[in-house]
Structure 1
Amino acid sequence: MSSFLSAGCVYKEESYNNVVEKYVELISGIKDIKIETLVCYDSKKDLSITINLEELKKDDFSDVTHINCKHLIGGWHFIVRFYEEDGYQGILLDLSYNYIPANYSFQQLEKHIISILMAIYSCYPYYFSFVDTEAEVDMFGTPTNINASENPYATLIVPDNDGFHVYLNLWEIDGMTERKKQAYIEKKAPLFLDETLNNLFKNDGI
């Protein structure tokens, strides 16, 4: 079974109204992304069911636990997962390493993912976002009040008035390769989400 490269966003309670609905709309509006299926949890029957987008009713958004997606040009499959916890909600995008060509540079891949997370913020602002191998949304002890000096992720992005504060940890996003710890501020305006995704999912490597 392949491991996953994970990118995530965390929303505080006061800012996450209709997060699932927003992300379904966001993803379905990207021309080169296809939502293949949605998985919903039926609390009455205590089981998960798989449906397509046309079968999803407006009042069922809160039941969606994850979305199975495909990039039509690159042929890459990825999963968007939703986690609702006490005081916050997390979004996790998982991409199997089976879809990442061997000639991809993790440094450039990381830059593309940071651009995607910045573009997502312009659509639906989050408290912080992150990138790492097989990461989870709850790796901070208190995800609603984080301390960047205790960063548990390979890459942490914290939006602020002066831009996006990016914190790179002692390991690359592959979870194994060592690097120097550093922090910087990214001020450039993000590209449109369609364009940033196409940069990531192109077939000719990075």
Structure 2
Amino acid sequence: MTNILSLGIVYENSFDKSEELQSIIQYFLNLKSDIVGIKVSMDEDGENWLESERNGKNFILDYTLLTEKYFGEILIQLNDFWSLNGLSLTLRIVKENDFFGYLLDFEMEQLLNRYSLDLINELIIDLVKDIYSVTKFNYAFCDHDSEIEYSPSQYKDIVEAYSILILPRAKNGFDVIKNNWQIDGITSRNKL
């Protein structure tokens, strides 16, 4: 079983799924990253997947297809990210009735081999704040092997659901809520 660190970025349905996905992908491509695989489920049960063709060195990205079908997944290799080479990132597209989001799944072991849990927390928070400069999401979270489950309107549920919750303020800045457990899902957080 793979040990996954999930970073979720969540939007109300009033946002354009394709446009927001393009912004996130471009953000990572600007960081010396490579797309190594793209696939989208053509049916609700996830039994029929369409994989993107490579056009020379690059993949053909059909953002509308990725965001309008049932499930989409993009595998990215981060070549120089947090001073790590070859860090794997799987970006998954999640759609619910009244909201949607993107899950960025990192392999936890790749991070823990280099950084402490506390430092990974801070790196994730900085990453989310930086991503907000290219896409204005409603909230973001980070936790061990998590899923996007809550609408942005479910504030009470969101606050206690994830190890780290990041809420953009109406004017400037962010509210960062760190719950009692660490992002590995088992370690207690040391509260100062």
TM-score in terms of structure 1 length: 0.76
Aligned to 2:77: 70
Q: After superposing the two structures, state which structure 1 stretch, 156-165 or 8-17, moved more.
A: 8-17
Percent identical residues: 23
Aligned to 1:50: 51
In 1, are the aligned partners of 2:79 and 2:86 still within 8 Å (CA)?
yes
Q: Provide the secondary structure at the position in 2 that maps to 1:147.
A: helix
Report how far residue 15 of structure 1 moved.
Answer: 2.2
Q: After superposing the two structures, state which structure 1 stretch, 40-49 or 158-167, moved more.
A: 40-49
Matched residue count: 179
1:166 aligns to 2:169 (yes or no) = no
Q: Provide the secondary structure at the position in 2 that maps to 1:137.
A: coil
Separation in structure 2 between the aligned mates of residue 179 and residue 26 of structure 1, nearest angstrom: 30
Distance 1:178-1:31 versus aligned 2 partners, 3 A rule: closer
Aligned to 1:40: 40
Q: Provide the secondary structure at the position in 2 that maps to 1:117.
A: helix
Aligned to 2:122: 111
Separation in structure 1 between the aligned mates of residue 60 and residue 13 of structure 2, nearest angstrom: 28
Structure 2: tracts of 5 or more residues without a match? none
- What are the within-5 Å matches in structure 2 for residues 175-186 of structure 1? 175-180=185-190
Structure 1: tracts of 5 or more residues without a match? 183-206
Separation in structure 2 between the aligned mates of residue 49 and residue 72 of structure 1, nearest angstrom: 26
Distance 1:57-1:82 versus aligned 2 partners, 3 A rule: closer
In 1, are the aligned partners of 2:140 and 2:167 still within 8 Å (CA)?
yes
Aligned Cα RMSD in Å? 2.5
Separation in structure 1 between the aligned mates of residue 158 and residue 74 of structure 2, nearest angstrom: 33
Runs of 4+ with deviation above 6 angstroms: none
Aligned to 2:22: 21
